[in-house]
Amino acid sequence: MGRHTFLSLLLALLTPGAAIPVPPAVRALNNLHLSTGFTSHPSIVMEYSIHYIQQKVDHFGFNTDKTFNQRYLIANKHWKKDGGSILFYTGNEGDIIWFCNNTGFMWDVAEELKAMLVFAEHRYYGKSLPFGSNSFKDSRHLNFLTSEQALADFAELIKYLKRTIPGAENQPVIALGGSYGGMLAAWFRMKFPHLVVGALAASAPIWQFDDIVPCGVFMEIVTTDYRKSGPNCSECIRRSWDAINRIAGNGTGLPWLSETLHLCTPLKNTQDVQSLKDWISETWINLAMVDYPYESNFLQPLPAWPIKVVCQYLKDPSVSDPQLLQNIFQALNVYYNYTGQARCLNMSETSTSSLGSLGWSYQACTEMVMPVCTNGINDMFEPHSWDLEEFSDYCFRQWGVRPRPSWITTLYGGKNISSHTNIIFSNGDLDPWSGGGVTKDITDTLVAIIIPEGAHHLDLRANNAFDPTTVLLARSMEVRYMKQWIRDFYASLRKKY
Amino acid sequence: MGRHTFLSLLLALLTPGAAIPVPPAVRALNNLHLSTGFTSHPSIVMEYSIHYIQQKVDHFGFNTDKTFNQRYLIANKHWKKDGGSILFYTGNEGDIIWFCNNTGFMWDVAEELKAMLVFAEHRYYGKSLPFGSNSFKDSRHLNFLTSEQALADFAELIKYLKRTIPGAENQPVIALGGSYGGMLAAWFRMKFPHLVVGALAASAPIWQFDDIVPCGVFMEIVTTDYRKSGPNCSECIRRSWDAINRIAGNGTGLPWLSETLHLCTPLKNTQDVQSLKDWISETWINLAMVDYPYESNFLQPLPAWPIKVVCQYLKDPSVSDPQLLQNIFQALNVYYNYTGQARCLNMSETSTSSLGSLGWSYQACTEMVMPVCTNGINDMFEPHSWDLEEFSDYCFRQWGVRPRPSWITTLYGGKNISSHTNIIFSNGDLDPWSGGGVTKDITDTLVAIIIPEGAHHLDLRANNAFDPTTVLLARSMEVRYMKQWIRDFYASLRKKY
């Protein structure tokens, strides 16, 4: 989900100057009021109350004493004052209600852990806008959109909850999050270990920074997903780019492409052709992230194992260019038209403006610099190198700021994090972001859990009858670790008194 | 020493509206060019080179890309590329050269640890002024004076040194500091454990915040120092305040007091009488901090065990008011006129303006809110309660900012720091700041070292023939821990390759 917003940036890079595509997560959000049953587990009733806490706009300076209201949700149906716990979702780049609805795991384990659930919205997203509608106006208003400020919000919120909710004070808090939210959960435990006894960081690519992992690894995993989902599937996609280029080079190529791909808006020039390829690339990437084992409606309504369905249309790379592109259309149609309601495919859907996408685009242009590149050999995409200078110039044009690509590593330690404790890093092998994740145990208490059949934080989703055994195992290990942290907390509390 | 700057605030509080006295540390600094042999160990030659690194003014926001030059010193005479280490002084509120000259311990152990010494100046002090002469102009320019920004400077500096000094990259760095610098050393290890393998936090009152320790403890320790240094000594001081009040109430009281105390500027009104009492209180506090076992010139040239010398004049609390005040003068004279050069005692010395004091006054009005109070029963001072509201109003008048008294605890964990490792907290029993320090082991690797005969970070001073055994023992334990951290670092490095 949120992870898509990283991609927006990537694609904007592939076509510098292009409008930043909307993260699908945010698109889904806009339709939230139309949707029901986000979770695939109809037996969970997600009852929560909505609250606001007054937060300093700037935790790290004293010149302004401006405040804003941060939204958070509380569900305490299963919470026990005696021996209970608090599960704290460290919200990421989007509306917190959407994350709440899509993190069924927390709801599924609440009773077992006697847990209060708290979902804290990340500043500059959803309803938690430091300057209201001016929040994205310019770099001056955006200045307080950083991971550090977000962690400080979480810290203040936890202290406030412990102070004001009778029975909460002497309970262990566990941070949980997925994607960027997973990074925040891990970083929160690293920087505020006095406030959370541990963290579950699901699909958190904390090493997709600097040159910690090769920039090519992300797209290689995407490619592997397609290669393994059907014979010749990735090869068909690899060949499609040149096919598009060749057809676009013909006199009647653009109208033919527009018609064959059922585009709502016909292609008009070469720039549109680049946008087309970016849009198709984003589609393949999105599918890799949501390649879940059951019918789901995370970013789009999709069949179970959607890449397998896609690959049924992409079996023969040796067909003619027009045939290949017709097959590509069928494949795209799986993602954009599973319900059969779409009358045409809307490339511009991914470039509608929205708060969520604005926020992440800024974050990606400042702290969250996550290099991604392709070479067309180890991956199925057109080659594109990672060019920091180009990126920096783009960011300066877009936001008037320049990225600090090493800051996250300086601040959070990069690979050198072994002195921390009690963090679970879970990753799915299908998830392209697993390439920047922690996939091997670092110490006894900094542990990696791999879900071979998992896409993007499958483990955080609600239980499902079609869940593969590996994710059930992952979740049960996660619960075991969390119970251990809770036990340790109460044991040390007893020692104190 | 730097700790005196805390006092400035305290005294400003005792007399709200009074000018903020200059921290003695800074006064000493101004005379640095006149002084030689700051260390009492004439055999150490302190050779260092002076450097500057370009730092972001704001590490935590991207709206400004302004930079400034942070000064740091390097001494590498004993540094070995093979198996060596880096001792990193986390500079506090003053000129880094002065700290360098007054931290003989680092020079004494450099050879044994094959260590490069680095002394990093704290932003807004010495020559490290983010906005030059405008740095203290207003709360907008002061906005970047925080402990978090200072730690970020240190982090960037360490990364820079490792990147640019051949042989430094794979060496362990140990943070060291005293007083506020000791707090920074401890916090640096807590927040950046990937950059320093451990920290020696000398006389670091990290718990003198919020209501973690009773606000009275500081002045109680001051009082104990006097009570133990001579019979009736603290009682004489306790009675002196009323004696001053009574005499000041007489028609000829002010000129008599001015003459008896040899004040350079005669007292003119009741406000001056309050200033007199504040100035005398500050003197007693300063003496408690620098009650070193040998002749020293830290804040003032002083005899060995100066409080004992002071107490020789304060033996009989039952004498008449005039006699008591004459005795007080003799006692003050020990502090202000040990060299016999002073022709009068200058109360206004402590209110000269200087950058260092401005910086600390701002820090004390924002993050570094360290409650201190007196009740006249457990201590020898006039009663004064801790009044946050009054303090906040004072800060607002002075700087246009309001303190956030709980922020340091939220950020750095207060008493709940047991998940961290490799920090030595050393404290001297004579040091009033030990009341807010960590004086008991928290875990096997968060250890407390007590120096019963130690004043303010005596252990960081150079070896001296008159050092009590307890400080020698403390230093040898400190070296043992540091060697262990260095060994552990190299052992884990070998495992990696």
Q: What interface predicted TM-score (ipTM) does this complex get?
A: 0.90
pLDDT at B484 over 50: yes
pLDDT band at A335, cuts 50/70/90?
A: very high
Mean pLDDT of chain A: 90
Question: How far does B105 lie from chain A, in Å, by closest CA?
Answer: 27
B155 CB neighbour count, 10 Å cutoff: 20
Query: Do A149 and B60 count as a contact with CB atoms less than 8 A apart?
Result: yes
Nearest by CB to A194, which of B192, B193, B413?
B413
In this structure, what is the dihedral angle of CA atoms A98, A101, A104, A107, given to the nearest 10 degrees? 120
Helix (H, G, I), strand (E, B) or coil at B81: coil
**pLDDT for position A45:** 79
Residues of A in contact with B402 (CB under 8 A): 62, 65
Query: Do A149 and B404 count as a contact with CB atoms less than 8 A apart?
Result: no
For chains A and B, CB pairs below 8 A equal 88
pLDDT band at A58, cuts 50/70/90?
A: very high
pLDDT at B4 over 60: no
pLDDT band at A251, cuts 50/70/90?
A: confident
pLDDT at A41 over 60: no
Nearest by CB to B410, which of A139, A155, A401?
A155
Question: How far does B407 lie from chain A, in Å, by closest CA?
Answer: 9
pLDDT at A354 over 90: no
Reported as a single tens digit per residue, the pLDDT across B440-462 is 999 999 999 999 999 999 999 99
In this structure, what is the dihedral angle of CA atoms A218, A221, A222, A228, given to the nearest 10 degrees? 180
Range list for CATH 3.40.50.1820 in chain A: 49-207+415-494
Reported as a single tens digit per residue, the pLDDT across A258-271 is 999 999 999 999 99
Mean pLDDT across B286-314: 93
Query: Do B366 and A417 count as a contact with CB atoms less than 8 A apart?
Result: no
The three-point CA angle B301-B304-B305 to 5° equals 115
Distance from C-alpha of B132 to C-alpha of B479, rounded to nearest angstrom: 38
- Which chain B residue lies closest to A193 (C-alpha atoms)? B419
Reported as a single tens digit per residue, the pLDDT across A386-426 is 999 999 999 999 999 999 999 999 999 999 999 999 999 99
**pLDDT for position B96:** 95
Nearest to B453 by CA among B435, B440, B438, B466: B466
CB of A212 less than 8 A from some CB of B: no
Q: What is the pTM of this model?
A: 0.92
What is the percent of chain A with per-residue pLDDT over 90, rounded to a whole number? 83
Q: Are B197 and B219 in contact (CB under 8 A)?
A: no
**pLDDT for position A29:** 31
pLDDT band at B33, cuts 50/70/90?
A: very low
Q: Are B288 and B458 in contact (CB under 8 A)?
A: no
Lowest mean pLDDT among A22-31, A99-108, B192-201, B228-237: A22-31
Helical (H) or strand (E) element with B190: helix B180-191
**pLDDT for position A477:** 98
Mean pLDDT across A458-477: 97
Q: List the single best residue of A55, A56, A58, A63 to mutate versus B (max B Cβ within 10 A).
A: A63
Q: Are A434 and A221 in contact (CB under 8 A)?
A: yes
Reported as a single tens digit per residue, the pLDDT across B349-366 is 643 333 357 899 999 999
**pLDDT for position A341:** 87
Distance of CA B159 to the CA centre of its chain: 27
Across-strand partners of A447? A424
Q: Does domain A211-403 have CATH number 3.40.630.30?
A: no
pLDDT at A114 over 70: yes
**pLDDT for position A495:** 87
**pLDDT for position A46:** 87
- Which chain A residue lies closest to B409 (C-alpha atoms)? A194
**pLDDT for position B357:** 75
**pLDDT for position A21:** 34
Mean pLDDT across B63-75: 96
**pLDDT for position A496:** 79
Q: What is the CATH number of domain B49-207+415-494?
A: 3.40.50.1820
CB of A495 less than 8 A from some CB of B: no
Q: How far is CA A283 from CA A149, A265, A366, B149, in A?
A: 32, 17, 26, 41
pLDDT band at A479, cuts 50/70/90?
A: very high
pLDDT at A36 over 80: no
pLDDT at B339 over 90: no
Nearest by CB to B416, which of A194, A416, A420?
A194
Range list for CATH 1.20.120.980 in chain A: 211-403
What is the percent of chain A with per-residue pLDDT over 70, rounded to a whole number? 90
Residues of A in contact with B170 (CB under 8 A): none
**pLDDT for position B43:** 62
CB of A464 less than 8 A from some CB of B: no
